[in-house]
Chain A
């Protein structure tokens, strides 16, 4: 565990992405080439039944479309605008990823909603060439992702935020906050609309108009909120940020005076760190779900490798094996360059894990082993290659079973996308099974003789053998799912038993008397 030194005075870099929701969609679309990049984009939300703009792109803003407008009004004014659904969750996920990326500059990064981040860069800036250079590098990196971003550095988070969002000042020297925020409009206080209007009605337009007034009459009229905000904005009061990414539950690291580069050495160090981490977990009665190994090269390049598990783990061997498989499967191998001077292992997700007594029937162990196997196979081959069946909600016998990544249905899997699982079709009590367990794909053509128009086959030939139908039931008419676009004739399915007691699932595609004569297929065998 590392303690971070906390020198004073503190310095903050506030970042703001004024068009984040729109730019996120634009970036995704441009990458996919979905729509012309020049259309003004707006994102809409339903507010009391009316669709209103929740966020707009820079281009849309220039055309006078601002959040709060109804979509109908916006479209009336700018018919060629492009409107998509506002998706705050996806925006939050994006800002979350940006936050992760910003951890390279400082571990103390907080979300600063809406669409902003607050970096405590106290003591970090010199690593990147000073505050001005740090700001430049941060902004440069983020703009590379095609995002509009504004950033200001100041001595309090509030001043930095206000300057980034309402001003044009890049950097305020320590102690200069009060002077720097004076020209800002009073909206920079971010008070309620009602209070902001009241302040304007009283003739206060800029922070300067308030800054020099005695605070008692202001507090009496506009609430303590105003004076608190004002004090903070003027840099008279500091406020610590709470980093959004909790410092990892457990961090172990090993620094080297002499950089290491040999694979064996790296493996040894990693193994040692894993053992230390697992010991911590043992003590806490927890298991890890995500293990992140960071390899810091002497030239400043950092390589992160993450191993995730479907269930909490604290077995050093398992974790080591996962890392080994991850590292072996890397597309671009771990390049030590001039060597690593620090290796760090962080456990970002942990969950309680009690030591379990195996059940007598061994089922729990079996389940564990299957889960274990799935983890290993998934780590080696990727989630899309290790699959399992789930039931789909459809009448179509072919589509009724669906393959999904095996990890996606693991028990205790938090988050992630829930797989819509339908129940498997079961026969009613006392009824025969409606469908064979396995189907031929594609169905096998048979020759059949049947009574028109919709009688079951009397006999049919399959793989050269002739089957006389002893018993039959049907038809069960199944149609194509018209919304999928393919236009296939209806199928009439029959359950057939031949003279030997073998049971078949046959269908006739099309009808007698139509343009094309119908054809018969065997789709499956009943057990």
Chain B
């Protein structure tokens, strides 16, 4: 290639030009590189959201010579990612070394394509230096802050105000009328930094147009620049780009017409081809190199500092952190600082100082302190959170003395990974913290990290189907087929299963396009709570825009971008359990039981562990799911670290890596705990013991897998990093094979047995990226313990706080109330004369606390009404009319109260109360009567209504408060079932292993965990619960029953584990929902499934109204057995 043929595409869009660009940034970089271009300019429409990915791709190519896999989110928990390899991986046309060399010579420039709202032609802007980058970011921030979410309203004057440090490429519009004057204005504002772009898109008049542009450029003394205005990497992407256009324009493909591109010319072309196309203007091609040479900016230049605020004047950050640490340590350990903790603090402080992370810790301390002042509970977790420093600073409640988690182990000095601390706050009050941060640091210095919302199988299929004009039915069928995971091809069998013909060309086409659309970004949204705070202006680092939520602003980069650029962030997250614990503490205080804080709950209480060993954990943080409850009696936790393991073990990683059973066996002392050693000359015999001793030699945590590779196979940091990436995509035999050999051989060389090395590799392979980090598990375990302690010792308090924190957790109020009753708590019904808005505790004559349900349990009753009822109650309401008169509540609300049977203290049951309430006049009281404050209703003969039967009451209770204290529906129906000789749940549990049983109950939860071999159904009756297991094969036969039944009859065999865990293996199931009619022939009994039900709530248990951003729950637990 001659120098004259050197070309770099300087106007390239990626798929971050949402619904326009049709290629990932990584692919654009790789393709440009392989085509022999000397560089590439990425410029998306009013955004720099995609540039970090392009930047990282190039970095990886320079380092590894292998294109990086694409990282896609597969859930909302830590580590829930799927990696998809580049399609060319393994069949690259050049060798790795060659590619590495090419990558080193390749120059990536990043900028943005400014699209103006005032009719000015698009202008592509590239910063020449850090200052220019700052200007571009500010410019985009100005535009973004003007508009709503996802909008950017820019005017050319915004650019002209100060274009210094920017190189500007004017994209000529179809008609060139206004171009000369624009060029003049730009050229005088930014002398020597303006180009006029020309493209040859085979539109027929290309050459004539080129000549004309040349004239215009010449007249303005602006150089002409050859571009191809690329929208995708290779011409085959045209169909996908057309589909994107259809999605954007909301039309079907056959109606899109001229909104589509006329041909497929907007791909990255070979330099020789560009030179040929521009043979009339070779200088325009050469100009690309001049422009490229002018730019001296890379994203690596972005340096970033934590704010100064937390450091008082006159102090250095490091000194201040030390000062605060020691000061607070003395407070934390009033009995004197243990030597071990002192030593650890010293070690950690030294490490922090070396890595210059002081400001990071101080910033988090500052936020935590604000929460303390406001009385909001919070707790940190993450690698850096498990430090003695964090404990003494009050960021976590995990005492390092109690728990030998080593902070230094997780903060790698060499890798310089940014420290990671997530702070959870009470979910109802987190917004206060967020607003405090904005207030304190200002919106130009604080911003929430973005989350890139990408096309997932369903959404991709839906949009493609719509664009291709498939009927909604076909589209939704395709969308609901089981795709397997990302990047997997949808199998013909699945299509057939959906009742469609996989050979139908249209279906093929739709599947193919949807597969390619997978992982394309759709838009940016705000992260659940990741904050970036800057010392200087944040908007000179990255553009900031408005979020959909009021008073929220967020930056354009997501968590991975931030990590890649080694910027630090603080995660401010919401956790429902903290709200519950705070409410429990308040109740304990109010009823004079005691004053508690997170860190001073009595430790190692055997009663608490006894309770957990019985799987009595309903409502307890993290371990309340069916799968966790099954594990508790097997794991038999006796100390806090057991809970750390309990939290992490019921996860896909350990399950798929087959580590659960070995661990349980070792724990039950059925198997010896051994630690293979290397040959003596290669290292200490206990090197693996150091890594694995706390988990009895079985790797259970994410950290352990990497740690083992580094210790046993002596992987270097970069190697371990590559392994991590490769592990995630292990299905591609090519890359993993390489690591397998490397790891096994190295371990064998170091004296490990080959069989062990092999088995160990299989284990961490299964682990993939699904392991759960110990650093998070430790903080969660603390909350497991605290919530268990409250439940164990103060069940009424716990139930009350839990009800008042709804929606959260796995269980519906009905189950929480029932659980409280089983723990000897008296539960009292909602009543206008006794209830508060929230559930409350009432002292009984015997001194015990009874739980009084609050008005919040009544459907359709807002806090305002609840408060009005309480405030105007005085000495109590004596009649319906008095109630209406004093509260002035709308009739609608009074009717609901009557309907909820909340007027028993007036001597009225539901029916009588309704009859009375309905008689109240519809509107405000007549003025005359209001003045007299007297009764305006005359006498009326008695109505003689038929009394309401108990069954109807129960049905109505479920309709109005979703639970009934009067009777369990199954209890009322017991005679029917007893006559059929159907056992109760308790009866079934009492049966011996292998007995045949027939049990019926209300369906609480249905789960189809992990590999989907079995369906788990939890049934409830008046005596307890039965856990039913239904094999998938049978599920297909009984699908309708399982999916539709609210009352299910199961025939099967009882299976009892040595620990006493009972399952009913179903052989046949029957839908017995119709028996509910026996309760009431006119009232449907609306039974609520628990929020853990996976079929109704396929994602995570979360409140019906809460936005996913407000909750961050652990990775979905997978049941297993």
Which residues does A use to contact B, with CB under 8 Å? 44, 51, 63-64, 71-73, 75-80, 82-85, 197-198, 200-203, 205, 217, 220-222, 392-395, 420, 422, 428, 431, 434, 454, 473-479, 481-485, 490, 492-493, 495
CB < 8 Å: which of A422, A481, A493 contacts B204?
A: A493
Q: Which residues of A contact B476 (CB under 8 A)?
A: 51, 71, 83
- Identify which of A200, A420, A483 gathers the most chain B CB atoms within 10 Å of its CB: A483
Q: Is B1 an interface residue (CB 8 A)?
A: no
CA gap between A474 and B259 in the complex, in Å: 22
CA gap between A77 and B945 in the complex, in Å: 40
Quick one: closest A residue to B480, CB to CB?
A75
Contact A203 B202 (CB under 8 A): no
CA gap between A478 and B1095 in the complex, in Å: 49
CA gap between A63 and B1043 in the complex, in Å: 12
Q: Which residues of A contact B910 (CB under 8 A)?
A: 201
CB < 8 Å: which of B239, B259, B1044 contacts A64?
A: B1044
Contact B1040 A217 (CB under 8 A): no
Quick one: closest B residue to A391, CB to CB?
B257
CA gap between A76 and B1044 in the complex, in Å: 8
A202 to chain B, nearest CB (A): 6
Contact A483 B254 (CB under 8 A): yes
Contact with A along B238-271 (1 / 0, CB 8 A): 1100100000000001111111101111000000
- Identify which of A63, A198, A478 gathers the most chain B CB atoms within 10 Å of its CB: A198
CA gap between A286 and B472 in the complex, in Å: 45
CA gap between A422 and B256 in the complex, in Å: 11
CA gap between A73 and B202 in the complex, in Å: 51
Contact A198 B918 (CB under 8 A): yes
CB < 8 Å: which of B207, B899, B1082 contacts A473?
A: B207
CA gap between A445 and B429 in the complex, in Å: 76
Contact A395 B262 (CB under 8 A): yes
B1066 to chain A, nearest CB (A): 17
Contact B1043 A77 (CB under 8 A): yes
Q: Which residues of B contact A78 (CB under 8 A)?
A: 1040
CA gap between A176 and B956 in the complex, in Å: 36
Q: Which residues of A contact B257 (CB under 8 A)?
A: 392-395, 422
B253 to chain A, nearest CB (A): 5
B1012 to chain A, nearest CB (A): 14
CA gap between A83 and B1095 in the complex, in Å: 20
Quick one: closest A residue to B252, CB to CB?
A483
- Identify which of A71, A77, A205, A217 gathers the most chain B CB atoms within 10 Å of its CB: A77
CA gap between A64 and B943 in the complex, in Å: 38
List CB contacts (< 8 Å) of B927-950 with chain A. 940, 943, 945-946, 948
13 further A-B contacts with Cβ under 8 Å, apart from A77-B1039, A197-B1083, are A44-B473, A63-B1040, A76-B1043, A198-B914, A201-B910, A202-B945, A203-B946, A220-B918, A222-B918, A428-B174, A434-B204, A482-B239, A482-B242
Quick one: closest B residue to A205, CB to CB?
B1082
Q: Is B980 an interface residue (CB 8 A)?
A: no
CB < 8 Å: which of A72, A221, A473 contacts B918?
A: A221
Contact A205 B260 (CB under 8 A): no
The answer to whether residues A495 and B1043 also contact, given A217-B943, A393-B258, A479-B263 and a CB cut-off of 8 A, is: no
B919 to chain A, nearest CB (A): 5
A401 to chain B, nearest CB (A): 13
A75 to chain B, nearest CB (A): 7
A433 to chain B, nearest CB (A): 11
Quick one: closest B residue to A69, CB to CB?
B1044
Q: Is B1081 an interface residue (CB 8 A)?
A: yes
Q: Which residues of A contact B1040 (CB under 8 A)?
A: 63-64, 77-78
| Count of inter-chain pairs, beta carbons less than 8 A | 122
Q: Which residues of A contact B914 (CB under 8 A)?
A: 198, 201-202
- Identify which of B208, B911, B915, B1081 gathers the most chain A CB atoms within 10 Å of its CB: B915
A104 to chain B, nearest CB (A): 36
CB < 8 Å: which of B205, B911, B1043 contacts A73?
A: B1043
Q: Which residues of A contact B886 (CB under 8 A)?
A: none
Q: Which residues of A contact B1081 (CB under 8 A)?
A: 205
A230 to chain B, nearest CB (A): 16
The answer to whether residues A202 and B915 also contact, given A217-B943, A393-B258 and a CB cut-off of 8 A, is: yes
Q: Which residues of B contact A63 (CB under 8 A)?
A: 1040
Q: Which residues of A contact B911 (CB under 8 A)?
A: 201-203
CA gap between A198 and B174 in the complex, in Å: 67
Quick one: closest A residue to B940, CB to CB?
A217
Quick one: closest A residue to B243, CB to CB?
A483
Quick one: closest B residue to A85, CB to CB?
B472
Q: Is B524 an interface residue (CB 8 A)?
A: no
Quick one: closest B residue to A474, CB to CB?
B204
Q: Which residues of A contact B203 (CB under 8 A)?
A: 476
A188 to chain B, nearest CB (A): 13
Which residues does B use to contact A, with CB under 8 Å? 174-175, 202-205, 207-208, 238-239, 242, 253-260, 262-265, 468, 471-473, 476, 480, 499, 505, 509, 895, 899, 910-911, 914-915, 918-919, 940, 943, 945-946, 948, 956, 959, 1039-1040, 1043-1044, 1081-1083, 1095
Q: Which residues of B contact A222 (CB under 8 A)?
A: 918
The answer to whether residues A80 and B919 also contact, given A473-B208, A475-B204 and a CB cut-off of 8 A, is: no
Quick one: closest A residue to B1036, CB to CB?
A79
Contact B238 A482 (CB under 8 A): yes
The answer to whether residues A477 and B1043 also contact, given A198-B914, A422-B257 and a CB cut-off of 8 A, is: no
Contact A84 B471 (CB under 8 A): yes
Contact B480 A80 (CB under 8 A): no
CA gap between A80 and B497 in the complex, in Å: 9
- Can you list 21 A-B contacts (CB < 8 A)? A44-B472, A44-B473, A77-B1039, A82-B473, A198-B895, A198-B918, A201-B914, A202-B911, A203-B946, A395-B260, A434-B204, A477-B202, A478-B263, A479-B264, A481-B254, A482-B238, A483-B253, A483-B468, A485-B505, A492-B202, A493-B204
Quick one: closest B residue to A200, CB to CB?
B1082
Quick one: closest A residue to B946, CB to CB?
A203
Q: Which residues of B contact A473 (CB under 8 A)?
A: 204-205, 207-208
CB < 8 Å: which of A85, A220, A484 contacts B473?
A: A85
CA gap between A306 and B738 in the complex, in Å: 81
The 9 closest A-B pairs by CB, nearest first: A393-B257, A476-B204, A221-B918, A477-B202, A77-B1043, A76-B1043, A477-B263, A203-B946, A77-B1044
Quick one: closest B residue to A423, CB to CB?
B258
B428 to chain A, nearest CB (A): 25
Q: Which residues of B contact A79 (CB under 8 A)?
A: 1039
CB < 8 Å: which of B242, B254, B263 contacts A490?
A: B263
CA gap between A107 and B1043 in the complex, in Å: 49
Contact B948 A203 (CB under 8 A): yes
B1074 to chain A, nearest CB (A): 10
Q: Which residues of B contact A197 (CB under 8 A)?
A: 959, 1083
Q: Which residues of A contact B480 (CB under 8 A)?
A: 72, 75
Q: Which residues of A contact B899 (CB under 8 A)?
A: 198, 201
Q: Which residues of A contact B948 (CB under 8 A)?
A: 201, 203
Contact B919 A220 (CB under 8 A): yes
Quick one: closest A residue to B948, CB to CB?
A203
Quick one: closest B residue to A223, CB to CB?
B922
Q: Which residues of B contact A75 (CB under 8 A)?
A: 480
CA gap between A129 and B204 in the complex, in Å: 77
Contact A203 B945 (CB under 8 A): yes
Q: Which residues of A contact B238 (CB under 8 A)?
A: 479, 482
CA gap between A63 and B254 in the complex, in Å: 38
CA gap between A221 and B254 in the complex, in Å: 58
Q: Which residues of A contact B259 (CB under 8 A)?
A: 393
CA gap between A472 and B258 in the complex, in Å: 25
Q: Which residues of B contact A482 (CB under 8 A)?
A: 238-239, 242
CB < 8 Å: which of A44, A71, A422, A483 contacts B509?
A: A483
B701 to chain A, nearest CB (A): 36
Q: Which residues of A contact B256 (CB under 8 A)?
A: 393
Contact B473 A84 (CB under 8 A): yes
CA gap between A201 and B472 in the complex, in Å: 41
CA gap between A167 and B829 in the complex, in Å: 40
The answer to whether residues A495 and B204 also contact, given A51-B476, A77-B1040, A393-B255 and a CB cut-off of 8 A, is: yes
